Chains A and B, each alone.
Chain A
Amino acid sequence: MKNSIKVERAKKDLTQADLAEKVGVSRQTINSIEKGRFVPSTILALKMAEVFKTSVHEIFSLEEVDWQG
């Protein structure tokens, strides 16, 4: 799964720590999500979309490998 969290953060001038505080997780969690090492829950993804004032689809997109088992 790809994401554009870093780009969205830059648009809103937010650091990883700022975003983490707003959505209620640790900075390391935001870092892991950005690097694609951790897939956020639906609630966390929705919270991020809310903070960035955009939709979940604008932030996260599926890749071919996500469709495989």
Chain B
Amino acid sequence: MRNYVFHYPHYFRYFGLTLLVLSVGILIYRFTSFGIFDLTAFCTPAAFSMVFIYFSKEKQNDERVVLLKFKALALAIPIAGLIFVLLDFSVNRTGYSIETDSWYSHSAFEYLTLALILAFAIFHFLKFRE
């Protein structure tokens, strides 16, 4: 009975990597053409790419890998949340923005991208350490 959490087949990782390269391309294009460091344009496809990369099966996918991936997610999600809370606080402590008529905050895609990049790094660290 094999019923693992990570649903996508292993080759989805390469699809995710392609999407990630495309995201970086968009970021570079926006910066070089318009001088804008467009994190939203980068993070929207990057978030999906990280979902494919992180949730695709490893080459050797066993119960220990599933546990380590879960542990890594459990660590990465609050750490990414804390990073964004601190970032938002550091920008918003100067006050309400009259120009944008809003408080500064990050998009869900930015949070998801950071959380999954952190989870990916923590997973490989745990895999190496254990």
Binds A, one of B19-27, B58-66, B84-92, B117-125: B58-66
B16 CB, nearest partner CB in chain A, Å: 22
Beta-carbon contacts under 8 Å, B39-94 to A:
60, 62-65, 67
Taking the nearest CB of chain B, how far is it from the CB of A62, in angstroms?
20
Q: Is B127 an interface residue (CB 8 A)?
A: yes
B101 within 8 A of A: no
Interface size of A in residues (CB-CB distance below 8 Å):
12
For the complex, give the distance between the alpha carbons of A40 and B64 in Å: 8
A41 at the interface (CB under 8 A from B): yes
Instruction: Known A28-B127, A32-B130; judge A41-B60 contact (CB<8 A).
Output: no
Q: Once the chains bind, are A29 and B64 in contact (CB under 8 Å)?
A: yes
Q: How large is the interface on B (under 10, 10 to 19, 20 to 34, 35 or more residues)?
A: under 10
- Name the residue on A nearest B63 (C-beta): A41
- In chain A between 18 and 38, which residues have their CB closer than 8 angstroms to a CB of chain B? 24-26, 28-29, 32, 37-38
Q: Are A24 and B130 in contact, CB atoms less than 8 angstroms apart?
A: no
Q: B63 contacts A25, CB within 8 Å?
A: yes
Residue of B nearest to A41 (CB): B63
A24 & B64 in contact (Cβ 8 Å cutoff): no
Question: Which residues of A are found within 8 Å of B60, using beta-carbon distances?
Answer: 25-26
Contact residues in A for B127 (Cβ distance below 8 Å): 28
B-chain residues with CB within 8 Å of residue A32 when the two chains form the complex: 64, 130
Minimum Cβ distance to chain A for residue B126 (Å): 10
> Which residue of chain A has the shortest Cβ distance to B68 in the bound complex?
A38
Chain A min CB distance to B53 (Å): 19
Chain A: residues with CB nearer than 8 A to chain B?
Answer: 24-26, 28-29, 32, 37-38, 40-41, 43-44
Extra contacts, 11 of them, besides A25-B62, A28-B130, A29-B65 (Cβ < 8 A), are: A24-B62, A25-B63, A25-B64, A28-B127, A29-B62, A37-B130, A38-B64, A38-B67, A38-B130, A41-B63, A43-B1
